[in-house]
Amino acid sequence: MRAVTWQGKKDVSVEQVPDPVIEQPTDAIIRVTTTNICGSDLHLYEPLAAFMDKGDVLGHETMGIVEEVGSQCGDLRVGDRVSIPFQISCGHCWMCEHELYTQCETTQVRDQGSGAALFGFSKLYGQVPGGQAEFLRVPHAQFTHIKLPDGPADDRFAYLSDILPTAWQGVAYADVPEGGTLVVLGLGPIGDFACRIAQHLGHRVIGVDLVTDRLARATARGIEVIDLTALNDVSLGDAIRGMTDGRGPDSVLDAVGMEAHGSPVTTVVQKAAGLLPSSIAAPIMEHAGVDRLGALHSAIDVVRRGGTISLSGVYGGMADPMPMMTMFDKQIQLRMGQCNVKRWIDDIMPLLGDDDPLGCDTFATHRLPLEGAPDAYRAFQEKADGHIKVQLKP
């Protein structure tokens, strides 16, 4: 089959790889109809390259049709239309029973000290082949699937595997009080959806970014926005405090993560580590790695005293400096983590009806054949040509 494979730092290509096969009775094989490029994939493209091997199949946002099932796949049947959550979880361990599916005790990657295995996401999370391919093997398919109705085009459900529930969890973790204000830092796909969800729930939303296309998308939906390039000598914190009675918003959602702009020293450190052989760079990242913390530090500054910060952007550093005195003094609550996808599906599915209030049908900016992936990765990382959300059609 054809698949998008990692070949080196900032180098992906579409190659022929072996077709997946049933390996365990709880496996299923999915014929992929739509798979997306996620912002998290860009972390593998460059800063987390030390944890990748040449030929790894990428992708963790996948939907399609069941082609084959093992003997213990529950009610999953050949021909079912499904979305595949990005984490692999058994559904019956202690963590899964508490809806902490990203901590599944059956699939935890213990040799890396990591939570549940993820599709297409490096040695850190099990090195499981991903879904940017014609077919995908789904382990623990008896639970790791979301059944979808026939009828609406893929766009309606293409984001259930990751970014839509991730945005939903981010807003839920932000704990915005009734009548409160949420600031969303970063208007990429997750930040964009977070704004739409918070707006739908009746909160005041302020989106922050510096990319014109992203700001325009939010503005078109009636979201208040702040363009970081237009602040001049005013700090972001002061600008937002000026919009929120001088105290700041009740909640801030950081949808940026480890690759924030405005962290030049850390950028140099990350790039220097990326030049080392993986055998040397990986231990450095695991024990002394640092992130670009511009967005998180902004969130700490912006949020009101006693407010809540929700982290949806991915961080991977193990030695990040944090302003603990400020966080303690401001009495900030901080919540974070990979999304427990299936926990939120019952909340989200009613919003995927014919009225499409979250705008899923028109959310993608680019729809490409699988062969378009290399150029799309480059353009997405460079935020070029309006690349905000890319769908790949195998």
Question: CATH no. for residue 201?
Answer: 3.40.50.720
pLDDT attached to residue 314: 74
Same domain, yes or no: 178 and 327: yes
Q: Which of 315, 336, 357 is the last residue of a domain?
A: 336
Same domain, yes or no: 99 and 126: yes
Classify residue 240 by its DSSP letter. H
**Per this entry, what is the length of the chain?**
394
Same domain, yes or no: 231 and 149: no
Q: Which of 336, 358, 378 is the last residue of a domain?
A: 336
Single pTM value for the model: 0.91
Query: Are the C-beta atoms of residues 162 and 341 closer than 8 Å to each other?
Result: yes
Q: Which of 292, 309, 336 is the last residue of a domain?
A: 336
Q: Are strands 135-138 and 28-37 parallel, antiparallel or unpaired?
A: antiparallel
Decide: residue 240, CB within 10 A, 0-12 exposed, 13-18 middle, 19+ buried.
Answer: buried
Same domain, yes or no: 273 and 212: yes
In angstroms, rounded to a whole number, what is the distance separating the alpha carbons of residues 30 and 19? 11
pLDDT attached to residue 75: 95
In angstroms, rounded to a whole number, what is the distance separating the alpha carbons of residues 157 and 371? 22
Same domain, yes or no: 346 and 324: no
Same domain, yes or no: 158 and 179: no
How many domains does the structure of the chain reveal? 2
Same domain, yes or no: 300 and 171: yes
Classify residue 177 by its DSSP letter. P
Same domain, yes or no: 280 and 361: no
Domain with 48 in it: what CATH number?
3.90.180.10
Same domain, yes or no: 280 and 348: no
Query: Are the C-beta atoms of residues 49 and 278 closer than 8 Å to each other?
Result: yes
Same domain, yes or no: 375 and 304: no
The alpha carbon of residue 258 and the mean position of all alpha carbons in its chain are separated, in whole angstroms, by 12
pLDDT attached to residue 50: 83
The alpha carbon of residue 353 and the mean position of all alpha carbons in its chain are separated, in whole angstroms, by 23
In angstroms, rounded to a whole number, what is the distance separating the alpha carbons of residues 67 and 69? 7
Same domain, yes or no: 140 and 97: yes
Query: Are the C-beta atoms of residues 225 and 186 closer than 8 Å to each other?
Result: no
Q: What are phi and psi of 295, to 5 degrees?
A: -70, -45
Coil, strand, or helix at residue 373? helix
pLDDT attached to residue 284: 42
Classify residue 338 by its DSSP letter. S
Q: Return the structure tokens found at 200.
A: 């739908």
Residue 64, CA atoms < 13 Å, CB-side half-sphere: 28
Which of 117, 23, 2 is closest to 71 using CA atoms? 23
pLDDT attached to residue 48: 79
pLDDT attached to residue 9: 92
- Give 78's contacts (C-beta < 8 A, 6+ positions apart): 66, 67, 68, 69
Q: Return the structure tokens found at 103.
A: 């901590």
Buried b (16+ CB within 10 A) or exposed e, 78-117: eebbbbbbbbbbbeebebbeeebbbbbbbbbbeebebbbb
pLDDT attached to residue 318: 63
Which of 169, 104, 158, 113 is closest to 313 using CA atoms? 169
DSSP E strands, the chain: 2-8, 11-16, 28-37, 62-69, 81-84, 135-138, 146-147, 181-185, 204-209, 224-227, 251-254, 308-311, 333-336, 366-369, 390-393
Structural domain range at position 329: 167-336
pLDDT along the chain (394 residues), means of 10: 96 98 98 96 85 96 98 98 98 98 98 96 95 98 97 96 98 97 96 98 97 96 97 94 97 81 43 47 46 81 98 73 91 96 98 95 97 96 91 97
Q: Are strands 390-393 and 366-369 parallel, antiparallel or unpaired?
A: parallel
> Which CA distances in Å does 130 have to 59, 121, 133, 134, 188?
5, 7, 7, 10, 22
The alpha carbon of residue 370 and the mean position of all alpha carbons in its chain are separated, in whole angstroms, by 20
In angstroms, rounded to a whole number, what is the distance separating the alpha carbons of residues 198 and 96? 27
pLDDT attached to residue 330: 97
pLDDT attached to residue 99: 98
pLDDT attached to residue 258: 65
Same domain, yes or no: 108 and 176: no
